[in-house]
Amino acid sequence: MLSVFMLAAFVLGGCMKLNKEEDTTIRVVHYSEDSFAQRYGGFTAKYPHIKVEVISMQKYMNPDNDWNDEYDQVLAQHPDVLLLFPDKYESLAQQGELYDLEVNLQEDGFDLDNMLPSVIEMLKWKGDGRLYGLAPSFYSQALFYNRELFDLKGIPYPTDQMSWEEIFQLASRFSPLEDEKPVYGFYDETMERNHQIFHLIRDIGLTKQLNYVDTVSSKISINSESWAQVFHLVIGAMQSRALNNPLSNDQHANTGAIPGEHAFLDGKAAMSISGYYFIQNLQQSRQVKEWDIVTVPVDEQQRDASTRFGLSEIYAVHANSSQKAAAAKLVQYINSDDAARTASKLSADISSRVRFSEESAGRTLEAFYKLNLTNYSDTALSALPREFHQAFSLLVSDQVRAVLNKEKSLEEALQFIEDQGQQLLYESLNN
């Protein structure tokens, strides 16, 4: 009887631990076979007994279709390892579709300590406290500044963990002397590209943990003292020309900046926020040679936290996989030192193993990962119809333009935005 029990225990244990001598086949979701081989081809060399079949996402990635519906077709192919984006990772975790990796990671001695803590924290947050996946990289932003422009004016450089108010105070000091062409103290590329102002207003509000839509009650709430302070900050910066004004037709005439070009790269802006990829753009710039980075602006009440942090790719094991041990090995390899060395040469994101991304172009990259992760986000707004976001952004731009032209007071504009925004929300939810 004892021998039967021991045999059963051995068999059951073998279901969860990989027998290295047994040939195994697992299926992984990736962009294409070529992309997987380029980035993670070393896995088969390390584990020759594990055959990897790639389920290509290429035929499912149609921007005109709903991605959640498309991914259901991917799941129908019975993959063992999933490549997920954050929202899908969170929803599948809530549905019990993902396998908790922590036991495998501990048994295999996986080096979790040298991954950025904020990455693990975000994964557990989205997994309701459990670790269902690993992310080999993350994206973040930093405040870039042109040292030459600061030196020319004798203005002190920005420092880590400055508030938005402090950054705009610095930006306002770039008013021109009589024989100088002015430059923007602060330049927002996304705002300029979209010719709308709400992008920056929303980001500052997010930093301050403000929301303008209650998605539970479907109510707009933007006519408040807190939001008024944000609008006042941005409008004041545009009026003083410390900030680029995408609502003005003649703003570029004052700086010599070329419409459609990035003013910071042209040496026409002292500060700008961007991602890791921007370093490569700066290396190709002929106008900006002396630059550096500090952390993005923060809330003065929470100077050690940032909302400008996210995960682009998460790898997880499907809960119904019959090869969980082998699948977990692949997830571990994708997030290993070996894979990080290769990915650091190919990815525009920063490796979660930050020692492979500690510096670039002779500058430390600490500003990208120095701040802690704040769990506050406005991701619930992404569930609202796209038409609402577009219409609301246009509404805000129109009302800010009216304030700039002295056609309305800020109080009147905010009330109008709230009233009309409520109507836009109602129409978008009921069409």
DSSP labels for 319-376?
Answer: TT-S-HHHHHHHHHHHTSHHHHHHHTTT-SSEESSGGGSSEETTEE-GGGTSSEEP--
What is the spatial distance between Cα 166 and Cα 319, in angstroms, rounded to a whole number?
48
| Mean pLDDT calculated for residue range 137-143 | 93
Of 20-24, 125-129, 266-270, where does mean pLDDT reach its minimum? Answer: 20-24
Confidence class of residue 312 from pLDDT cuts 50, 70 and 90?
confident
Closest by Cα among 58, 48, 1, 44 to 21: 48
32-62 residue pLDDT tens: 999 999 999 999 999 999 999 999 988 777 7
State yes or no: pLDDT of 9 exceeds 60. Answer: no
Confidence class of residue 382 from pLDDT cuts 50, 70 and 90?
confident
184-208 residue pLDDT tens: 999 999 888 878 899 999 999 999 9
All structural domains of the chain with their residue ranges: 21-136+313-352, 140-307+375-429
Confidence class of residue 14 from pLDDT cuts 50, 70 and 90?
very low
Of 59-63, 137-141, 245-249, 366-370, where does mean pLDDT reach its minimum? Answer: 59-63
State yes or no: pLDDT of 387 exceeds 80. Answer: yes
pTM of the model: 0.86
| Per-residue confidence (pLDDT) for residue 398, from 0 to 100 | 95
Q: In Å, what is the CA distance from 210 to each residue of 47, 220, 398? A: 49, 12, 21
Confidence class of residue 253 from pLDDT cuts 50, 70 and 90?
very low
- Helices marked H in 127-175: 147-153, 164-171
State yes or no: pLDDT of 21 exceeds 80. Answer: no
The token duo for 75 is: 């799941």
| Per-residue confidence (pLDDT) for residue 279, from 0 to 100 | 92
Question: CATH number of 140-307+375-429: 3.30.70.1450, 1.20.1270.360, 3.40.190.10, 3.30.420.40?
Answer: 3.40.190.10
% of the chain residues with pLDDT over 70? 87
CATH 3.40.190.10 fits 21-136+313-352, yes or no: yes
| Mean pLDDT calculated for residue range 382-403 | 92
Domains 21-136+313-352 and 140-307+375-429 are alike in CATH topology: yes
Summary mean pLDDT of the chain: 87
CA 138 to chain CA centroid, nearest Å: 7
Confidence class of residue 374 from pLDDT cuts 50, 70 and 90?
confident
Are residues 182 and 200 in contact, defined by beta-carbon separation less than 8 angstroms? Answer: no
What is the spatial distance between Cα 431 and Cα 38, in angstroms, rounded to a whole number?
45
Are residues 325 and 104 in contact, defined by beta-carbon separation less than 8 angstroms? Answer: yes
